[in-house]
Amino acid sequence: MEDPFPSFWDHYASSGCTLAEMLNCADEKSNSLGFMELLNMHDSAAFKEEEEEEPSIVYYSNSKLQESLNAPQTPNCSSISSESSDRGVINKEEEDGEGEEDDNDQKKKTSKQLKAKKTNQKKKREQRFAFMTKSEVDHLEDGYRWRKYGQKAVKNSPFPRSYYRCTNPACNVKKRVERSCTDPTIVVTTYEGQHTHPSPQPQRPHAPPPVFSAAPSLANIQLMNYSLLVNGYMGGGGGAQQLSFCSQPPALTASNGLLQDIVPWPAAKIEEEEEEQ
């Protein structure tokens, strides 16, 4: 089969940068394109159609890669703001200001109901983007600070799903973290929304110069999915399902830093696990 998405990896191969660096480079470009945005801009029209259903998934195979992404992955995106506005976000003060109850319990209930209404009105979801990483830790460092606000058991999965929210009060980006039910080493991270602030963590000093003008598309990056997703790796439990893949791995070599970490998922392992089930 042909590689339908050669451009990104072509750029990559000639850049001498790590994948994360390339993504970060893009983030630093004048257009303020970041990791998330780069991914989201893939066929944006189609993505918008899908954004309220399932996120797209990118698969990274090594925690090192993830660690290396500790630069903004969910960057500022002014173009999204219009979308946010039509989400009908309710000003909290406005909502809460409808009268103060003396009774705490009633207050509590009222507040919960209001919140429920809020979430209801907020039904239009933010742009979501999911990717998979092979990592031992659930919560991967991505340069932003997150506060865990919930954890739920997931049906058809022995692993709970954790809910995180960006600690910046002005930023309503959320992310969900769960492990693949079929392989505990796979962490599925789903981002929702766009950060409205820069990453609190300093950029790495040796950030390389931009090396490509054309931002990689989601499809490009999904090249990394190639072996995992062929096998329908997410199983039934994960929430993330718009799996796509490319039959051919990008022409990666082990010579470019993190790239060596992007290894094809061992099909044999998957087969083993399927036999176990």
Partner DNA sequence: CGGGTTTGACCGGCGC
Partner DNA sequence: GCGCCGGTCAAACCCG
Longest pairwise C-alpha distance within the chain = 68
For 25, residues 6+ apart whose C-beta sits below 8 A from its C-beta are 17, 207, 208, 209, 210, 211, 212
Nearer to DNA among residue 196 and residue 227 (C-beta): 196
Of 239, 248, 257, 263, which one interacts with DNA (CB under 7 A)?
A: 239
Task: Spell out a b/e string for 111-120, using b for 16 or more CB atoms within 10 Å of the CB, else e.
Answer: eeeeeeeeee
Nearer to DNA among residue 19 and residue 166 (C-beta): 166
The helix/strand/coil state of 169 is coil
Nearer to DNA among residue 108 and residue 269 (C-beta): 108
How many chain residues are in contact with DNA, going by CB under 7 A? Answer: 34
* Contact string (CB under 7 A) for DNA, positions 170-199, x = contact: ----x-x-----------------------
Measured from the CB of residue 145, what is the shortest distance to DNA in angstroms?
A: 5
H helix or E strand, kind and range, residue 273: helix 267-276
Say whether residue 48 binds DNA (CB under 7 A): no
Which tokens hold the place of 140?
């991967």
Please report, for residues 21, 81, 242, 269, the alpha-carbon distance to residue 153 in angstroms, rounded to integers and kept in the order given.
35, 32, 22, 26
Question: According to CB under 7 A, which residues from 18 to 37 bind DNA?
Answer: none
Measured from the CB of residue 240, what is the shortest distance to DNA in angstroms?
A: 9
Across the strands, what pairs with 161? 152
Pick from 82, 72, 79: nearest CA to 191: 72
Please report, for residues 104, 156, 166, 189, the alpha-carbon distance to residue 142 in angstroms, rounded to integers and kept in the order given.
39, 28, 11, 11
Measured from the CB of residue 61, what is the shortest distance to DNA in angstroms?
A: 24
Say whether residue 155 binds DNA (CB under 7 A): yes
Measured from the CB of residue 42, what is the shortest distance to DNA in angstroms?
A: 22
Question: According to CB under 7 A, which residues from 112 to 151 bind DNA?
Answer: 112-113, 115-120, 123, 139, 145-151
Nearer to DNA among residue 5 and residue 146 (C-beta): 146
In the complex, which residues of this chain contact DNA (CB under 7 A)? 108-109, 111-113, 115-120, 123, 139, 145-155, 161-165, 167, 174, 176, 237, 239
